[in-house]
């Protein structure tokens, strides 16, 4: 599986008459992990929902391509959003098409990839928050996406689970090399996972700053080089129109 190339050109989004995003332009190369950070209410999720096709832009264009083909896009939301009337494996198979045995087999493989193979037959209500979010991750993986959109996917789990899930995303990325656009308000999460961080800010939101995190994976959370990058990011978040920075 390969990643998709993402190109966003002068994107503007208005919701209920209120401009949310203004002149947003960025690109992601195939297999790149791009993090978008910003304070609450900036419009990060709106940007991701626009990329997912859930919000129509007012102006501008989004191009997501896998070579000459249209890329497959999968989304993991902040909440697991599992369908409570389907068992765990059925929830994963839900987004697939084709004959039932093949779907079941692929769902089982996706569950194994997120280490939930023993939970296929149970109901979503019986899962913990972290397990439910991993099921949502399996549901995204099962479609073999070229672009994985993550909308603060680990915001609602405890710190330890969050770290485990982050490692899991890194592991899956190593296996599949899909392009990732991750929306988060957690600077450390952005630095740990991303190749590049975009800082969104202002009303309506624009890209305020961009930071390269050119470090190989797997990374250590206590790596001084990584920790040194917190400063320019915090500065960019606090200061409108900060200059571009790079690290590594």
Partner 1 sequence: MRLGQLLWRRADPAKARHRAGVRVLLPAALPLAVLGIWWLALLRQWVRPYQLPAPGMVLSAFQEMLARGELQQHLAATSSRTVAGYLLGAVPAVVIGIGAGLSQSVRAFVDPTIQGVRAVPSLAWVPLFLLWLGIGERSRVLLIALGAFLPVYLNALAGVEGVDRRLVEVGRAYGLSGAAITTRIVLPASLPAILTGLRAGLSLAWMFVVAAELIAASNGLGFLLVDGQATMRPDRVLASIVAFALLGRISDAALGAIERRALRWRDSLGTAEPPDRTHPSPLSAEGGVTP
* Residues that bind partner 1 in the complex, under the rule CB under 8 A: 52-54, 73-75, 77, 79, 81, 83-86, 94-95, 115-116, 118-119, 121-126, 128-131, 143, 157-158, 160-161, 164
- Minimum distance from residue 147 beta carbon to partner 1 (Å): 12
Q: Which is nearer to partner 1, 89 or 209 (CB)?
A: 89
- Minimum distance from residue 48 beta carbon to partner 1 (Å): 10
Three-class secondary structure of residue 13 per DSSP = strand
Calpha distance 11→21 (Å, rounded): 7
- Minimum distance from residue 226 beta carbon to partner 1 (Å): 23
- Name the DSSP class of 23: E
Q: Which is nearer to partner 1, 73 or 237 (CB)?
A: 73
Q: Are 76 and 152 in contact (CB under 8 A)?
A: no
- Minimum distance from residue 111 beta carbon to partner 1 (Å): 11
- Minimum distance from residue 72 beta carbon to partner 1 (Å): 9
Q: Which two tokens stand for residue 67?
A: 């070579």
Angle of helix 159-176 versus helix 129-141 axis, rounded to 10? 10
Q: Which two tokens stand for residue 159?
A: 């710190």
Q: Which is nearer to partner 1, 164 or 186 (CB)?
A: 164
Across the chain, where does the E strand assignment appear?
5-15, 18-28, 33-37, 59-66, 69-70, 73-76, 147-151, 179-184, 196-201, 206-213, 245-247
Q: Which is nearer to partner 1, 111 or 200 (CB)?
A: 111
Q: Which is nearer to partner 1, 37 or 88 (CB)?
A: 88
């Amino acid at each position: 599986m390969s990643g998709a190339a993402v190109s966003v050109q002068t994107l503007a989004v208005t919701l209920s008459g209120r401009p949310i995003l203004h002149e947003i332009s960025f690109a992601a190369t195939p297999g790149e992990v791009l993090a978008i950070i910003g304070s609450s209410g900036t419009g990060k999720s709106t940007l991701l929902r626009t990329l997912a096709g859930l919000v129509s832009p007012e102006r501008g264009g989004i191009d997501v391509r896998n070579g000459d083909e249209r890329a497959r896009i999968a989304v993991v939301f902040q909440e697991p959003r599992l369908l409570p009337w389907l068992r765990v494996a059925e929830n994963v198979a839900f987004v697939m098409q084709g004959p039932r045995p093949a779907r079941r087999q692929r769902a089982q493989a996706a569950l194994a990839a997120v280490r939930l193979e023993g939970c296929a037959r149970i109901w979503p209500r019986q899962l913990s928050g972290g397990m439910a979010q991993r099921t949502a991750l399996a549901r995204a993986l099962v479609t073999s996406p070229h672009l994985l959109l993550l909308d603060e996917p680990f915001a609602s789990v405890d710190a330890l689970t969050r770290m485990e899930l982050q490692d899991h995303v890194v592991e899956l990325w190593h296996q599949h090399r899909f392009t990732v656009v991750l929306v988060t308000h957690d600077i450390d999460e952005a630095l740990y996972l991303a190749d590049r961080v975009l800082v969104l800010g202002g009303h309506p939101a624009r890209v305020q700053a961009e930071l390269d995190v050119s470090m190989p994976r797997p990374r250590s959370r206590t790596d001084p080089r990584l920790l040194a990058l917190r400063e320019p990011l915090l500065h960019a978040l606090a200061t409108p129109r900060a200059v571009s920075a790079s690290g590594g």
